A and B are shown apart, each in its own frame.
Chain A
């Protein structure tokens, strides 16, 4: 049997009609549009899968904080507080805040990478709640923030950190830290959309993060700093975050710091969330 006769036979069996075409194109009802929550969690899961496939990105979440904790505890702890154990009680909540806040910049880097690769344009054609891609990045990062916090806590406990707040105080401290970092990440998603390369996103974020984290109460009591520096430290949101987390882990509650953290967190989310979505819609 020749090829020609096979083709003829096939043509004979298929007759074009709107019904047959419809049967092929739409075999049933169109799938329901995913809810905003479902879409956000899907993109959050995508961010988690990235960690699974590129585990090196957890290096910054683990190695940097461990190195900083060891260095400041053992190199400077004795000179700063008289004993390394005593200094660790003061330092660890601060190092935890510093490390987690530092890695918030990777949200912006991830956004920028997706834009450069073109996958972002594909997401925008999907029938989903528009901010879900952004919220997804942040949800994935919230997991990383939690991992970072637990790693530092683990190292701290091994070295001799004994929080008076117990499990509840520590959990509350980590909760506040992760919540604030989630809000803070909106700044970097905006820069991720605004800047052209991931290097420039990292450069800008470092220029902002280094002064914010080092010129704070992470390492020493601001009372030992010169007046002009104290003035900056007192209005620095990271200082208030450190104060709030430190108080919770010590089994206390600092109303002033907590208010600052909540207000600044909400403000950052409202302002930078809106700016991010505006930039996202205009791309």
Chain B
């Protein structure tokens, strides 16, 4: 059996372990979905009327805002999943199971690969639920099947980047509590971007940050693909940010994992 096939087998086993964790602790998946759903309902029904009128457009009002806010909520879901990943990685690191794995003849990075793949599945399920609820409350995308696929690709790409970041954050912390707090700023990024309101309506300093932070080009790309708004150079920026975050965090996570604790 070659090294490659060993790596594949071990990673598959660890992936299955992550899926079992998901099944046995459904509360984590529920929490990933719960917060974005609350914010989706809150912003569409409580603030949607007022914010939607400010957006203008042919329809305006709540329906216009429902379309506007969904990409931001999707990114919030991805950030929520990252928090769950950081927690599960930290639990593994603090409970001693990793020390047991290290004594076994398994492909070392397979533990991390399992976590990443498991989190990707969890995120995908959460995103499907959120899109379903969004469609039920008035989200009306006009995307073609190709654009839907492209949007799914963008979401998976950014999820992959954020998951590697959260794996690194889970490894760098000393406790589960701090692992749950460290990814918190990720949940704020859709707010501090174009996720909930146009950046034009923000004060200058805040607008500058909102326009140049990594989530804004992703949100604008999703908005363009699903709703037909102008994408501009957002797509390239989204890809660049995702690749950069993935590479940096992959290297960082691997280094942290290989370091003797």
Q: Give the secondary structure class of B's interface.
A: helix
A84 within 8 A of B: yes
Task: Produce 1/0 per residue, A67-82, CB < 8 A to B.
Answer: 0000100111011101
B201 within 8 A of A: yes
Flag if A215 contacts B46 (CB, 8 Å): yes
Flag if A76 contacts B196 (CB, 8 Å): yes
- Alpha-carbon distance A220/B201, docked complex (angstroms): 17
Flag if B50 contacts A220 (CB, 8 Å): yes
Flag if A225 contacts B45 (CB, 8 Å): yes
The answer to whether residues A71 and B191 also contact, given A79-B201, A219-B46 and a CB cut-off of 8 A, is yes
Flag if A75 contacts B197 (CB, 8 Å): yes
Chain B: minimal CB distance from A77 (Å) = 8
Flag if B191 contacts A229 (CB, 8 Å): no
- Alpha-carbon distance A74/B201, docked complex (angstroms): 9
Nearest B residue to A84 via CB reads: B203
Flag if A79 contacts B206 (CB, 8 Å): no
**Size band of the A side of the interface?**
10 to 19
- Alpha-carbon distance A225/B46, docked complex (angstroms): 6
Q: Give the secondary structure class of A's interface.
A: helix
The answer to whether residues A80 and B42 also contact, given A75-B206, A220-B49 and a CB cut-off of 8 A, is no
- Alpha-carbon distance A219/B51, docked complex (angstroms): 11
Flag if A229 contacts B51 (CB, 8 Å): no
**Size band of the B side of the interface?**
20 to 34
The answer to whether residues A79 and B51 also contact, given A74-B202, A84-B203 and a CB cut-off of 8 A, is yes
- B191 to chain A: which residues have CB within 8 Å? 71, 75
- A80 to chain B: which residues have CB within 8 Å? 47, 50-51, 54
- Alpha-carbon distance A33/B47, docked complex (angstroms): 56
Within 8 A of A (CB), among B38-82: 42, 45-51, 53-54, 62
Chain A: minimal CB distance from B184 (Å) = 12
Flag if B201 contacts A78 (CB, 8 Å): yes
Flag if B203 contacts A74 (CB, 8 Å): yes
- Alpha-carbon distance A220/B48, docked complex (angstroms): 10
Flag if B206 contacts A220 (CB, 8 Å): no
Nearest B residue to A221 via CB reads: B50
A31 within 8 A of B: no
- B49 to chain A: which residues have CB within 8 Å? 220, 224-226
B198 within 8 A of A: yes
**How many A-B contacts at CB < 8 Å in the complex?**
51
Chain A: minimal CB distance from B75 (Å) = 15
B130 within 8 A of A: no
- Alpha-carbon distance A221/B47, docked complex (angstroms): 9
Task: Produce 1/0 per residue, B66-109, CB < 8 A to A.
Answer: 00000000000000000000000000000000000000000000
- Alpha-carbon distance A79/B203, docked complex (angstroms): 11
The answer to whether residues A214 and B42 also contact, given A80-B54, A225-B49 and a CB cut-off of 8 A, is yes
Contact of A75 among B46, B62, B196 (CB under 8 A): B196
The answer to whether residues A226 and B62 also contact, given A71-B191, A75-B206, A221-B50 and a CB cut-off of 8 A, is yes
Flag if A220 contacts B46 (CB, 8 Å): yes
- Alpha-carbon distance A82/B53, docked complex (angstroms): 11
B187 within 8 A of A: no
- A221 to chain B: which residues have CB within 8 Å? 50
- Alpha-carbon distance A215/B191, docked complex (angstroms): 20
Chain B: minimal CB distance from A5 (Å) = 64
B32 within 8 A of A: no
- Alpha-carbon distance A75/B210, docked complex (angstroms): 10
Nearest B residue to A73 via CB reads: B203
Nearest B residue to A81 via CB reads: B50
- A75 to chain B: which residues have CB within 8 Å? 191-192, 196-197, 202, 206
Flag if A229 contacts B45 (CB, 8 Å): yes
Task: Produce 1/0 per residue, B15-34, CB < 8 A to A.
Answer: 00000000000000000000
Chain A: minimal CB distance from B187 (Å) = 13
Task: Produce 1/0 per residue, A218-243, CB < 8 A to B.
Answer: 01110011100100000000000000
Flag if A76 contacts B46 (CB, 8 Å): no
What are 26 A-B pairs at a CB distance below 8 A?
A74-B203, A75-B191, A75-B192, A75-B206, A76-B47, A76-B51, A76-B197, A78-B201, A79-B51, A79-B54, A79-B197, A79-B198, A80-B50, A80-B51, A82-B54, A214-B46, A215-B46, A220-B47, A220-B49, A221-B50, A224-B48, A224-B53, A226-B45, A226-B49, A229-B45, A229-B46
Enumerate chain A interface residues (CB-CB to B < 8 A): 71, 74-76, 78-80, 82, 84, 214-215, 219-221, 224-226, 229
Closest 9 CB pairs of A and B: A224-B49, A78-B201, A79-B197, A79-B201, A224-B50, A220-B50, A79-B54, A80-B50, A79-B51
Additional A-B contact list (8), CB under 8 Å, known A75-B206, A82-B54, A224-B49:
A76-B47, A76-B196, A78-B197, A79-B197, A79-B201, A80-B54, A224-B48, A225-B46
